[in-house]
Amino acid sequence: MNLMKLSERLGLVSYRNQAKSEIKPHIEVDTDICNSTCPHKCTTYVCPANCYTMDEDGKVHFQVEDCIECGTCMYACDQGAVDWNYPDPEVGRGVTWNFG
Amino acid sequence: MDEKFDCIIVGGGIAGLAAAMILARNNMKFLLIEKGEFAGSKNVSGGVLWGHDLARLVPGYWEEEDGGWERFINHRRLTFMDEQSTFSIDFKSSHFNETPYSGVVVLRSKFDRWLAGKVQEEIDQSDHAMESFIATNIKVDEVLMENDKAVGIRTGDEEFHADSVILAEGVNNLLTRQVGLQDDYVPADHMLTGIKEVIRYDQKVLEDRFQLNGLSGMSNEFVGYSTDGVEGGGFLYTNRDTISLGLVAGIKDMREKEKSPHDILNTFKGHPVIQDTIKGGEVVEYSAHVVSSGDKRVMPKELYKDGVLLCGESANLLMNAGKAIQGMDLAMRSGILGAETIVKAKERGDFSSQTMKEYRQALDESYVMQDINNFQDAVHMLHSPEMFKDVPNLICDFGRKFFTIDNEPTKKSREMMSESIKEHSSYWDLIKIGFKGAKSL
């Protein structure tokens, strides 16, 4: 069996409000903290959905679209940069598991 | 809705649904609020639901043609793993074919939805058939507090009032934190990320490969290479025509070792023995969910206060002492005990901590807290580096020596063991682990 890329894995996830172009992010990240004082920038590798990425200059960026609401970043970030919540059923993204 | 409920349950997972079943059965007027499209739609587990409590909630559940569960477990396997090898303890018994089963594999999107259907049937037969509800698609923003007593919940601009609130919101327990029972920031020390794939097969292929008969199933836990040097372990459970393959990995450990959970999953899946085991399947879902380690230090300060109770993962109830990963059964029992306390509170007309503390007492007297308390040493041991690295390497190394026949004079097993120990650990370390193990189990 071929080992899958993360993007292929995420392609299997069903998201709510997937068709909506405007969604309200349920997690807010103060990337100024990530990019100034954080010694590890760990969200860029511990997030199972790769919502946190690092660019060529080493700067952390966050996108909520692929979030599967696992909660990992809320615990992993010990710098106070992650303000975590669940998505709003109407205007948020979030997951609907087919198997769970 | 102006009228007041006896109880509002936040969360349509196993804890919340178990509580709802008991409340309905006791003719209580309640509202269960679930943020997903349906109960189970946002829930993930490994997962095996261990024990007999399901039979208390849904008597004779095994007789249903297509119930919410996948397979019953009659085959257990614990596998130690190094880079090349696996060494397993394997136990299968027809004893476990008897009902009520002692463990069923579930996929939560299906199971919780099914269980919610059973709760609705119970509501329909209760005195409050038209006044108790399971409401989906609603996110609770706040528990309403008056004089530090829970009096209801708020969602958006809307408020619902009740004499009591059961928080069964899951591990990411924001409302538990809001009411002050847990700190706003929970550090990563005793939290793990669980990730898994559901892999589909032709059902006959699956049954032949895992020697399943009818609805029998297998559970297999893995220690060692499965988590690539990170605290945690792997798992494989058989569903009807899929398997659940995944692992849990310590968040703090990943942070320090700079490891990604999906890379670890690929390492696990890429292991030669796992490759042979899962050959030919099609991945149909990838999911993730945080769990606690079962370390008591991450539990909320208390499990109740005036008008509010914590059930299931909201209270970080989890147990893994090496025999099985237990979470859903603890959720179910705590939901049952929580609801029974609410029923008592209603009879007395007292929803203050005076009554609520009886939930804590009942939980302390039950296997839930007895086991969590008695097996803390085992939890610490299982999460120590020796257990997810040195011991599996040593065992597999010994296995390789023991099972090698190379037409050279064969050493005695004791000598082989001695060599393996020297290579991967030391006698002194092993004596320490053995002593800890004997004491903790």
- Which CATH number belongs to the domain containing residue B91 in this structure? 3.30.9.90
Residue ranges for chain B with pLDDT beneath 50: none
pLDDT value for B441: 74
Q: Do A97 and B112 touch (CB under 8 A)?
A: no
- Distance, CA of B342 to CA of B165 (rounded, Å): 9
Same domain, B13 and B79: no
For testing the chain A interface, which of B69, B260, B271 should be mutated: the one with the most A CBs within 10 Å?
A: B260
Average pLDDT across each block of 10 residues of chain A; the chain has 100 residues. List them in order.
88 90 93 97 98 97 96 98 96 94
For residue B85, what are the domain limits? 71-105+188-295
Half-sphere exposure of B233 (CA within 13 A, CB side): 27
- Which tokens in the block code for residue B21? 């079943």
Compute, in degrees rounded to 10, the torsion defined by CA atoms B195, B180, B379, A44. 30
pLDDT value for B87: 97
Number of domains present in the structure of chain B: 3
pLDDT value for B383: 87
Domain end: B271, B295, B319, which one? Answer: B295
| Residue ranges of domains in chain A, CATH in brackets | 6-83 (3.30.70.20)
The residues that bridge with B219 in the sheet, in sequence order, are B76, B237
- Which tokens in the block code for residue B204? 């006959």
DSSP SS3 for B85: coil
Q: Determine, yes or no, domain membership for B66.
A: no
Give B205-264 pLDDT, tens digit per residue: 999 999 999 999 999 999 999 999 999 999 999 999 999 999 999 999 999 999 999 999
Reported ipTM: 0.97
A3 to chain B, closest Cα gap in Å: 6
| Ramachandran assignment for B349, one of left (phi > 0), alpha (psi -120 to 50 degrees), beta (any other) | left
Q: Determine, yes or no, domain membership for B374.
A: no
- Whether the Cβ atoms of residue B333 and residue B176 lie closer than 8 Å to each other: no
- Chain A positions in Cβ-Cβ contact with residue B137 (cut-off 8 Å): 89-90
Q: Determine, yes or no, domain membership for B61.
A: no
Q: Determine, yes or no, domain membership for B153.
A: yes
- Whether the Cβ atoms of residue B69 and residue B102 lie closer than 8 Å to each other: no
Pairs of residues, one from chain A and one from chain B, whose beta carbons lie less than 8 Å apart: 146
- Which tokens in the block code for residue B282? 């099609």
pLDDT value for B438: 77
- Which tokens in the block code for residue A7? 């993007």
The residues that bridge with A65 in the sheet, in sequence order, are none
Same domain, B18 and B132: yes
- Distance, CA of B97 to CA of B250 (rounded, Å): 34
| Ramachandran assignment for B228, one of left (phi > 0), alpha (psi -120 to 50 degrees), beta (any other) | left
Q: How far from A99 is each of A1, A13, B40, B200, B327, CA to CA, in Å?
A: 21, 10, 9, 11, 18
pLDDT value for B323: 83
pLDDT value for B428: 79
pLDDT value for B434: 80
pLDDT value for A82: 98
Percent of chain B with pLDDT strictly greater than 90? 88
pLDDT value for B322: 81
- Chain B positions in Cβ-Cβ contact with residue A82 (cut-off 8 Å): none
Of B381, B314, B372, the closest CA to residue B172 belongs to B314
A42 to chain B, closest Cα gap in Å: 6
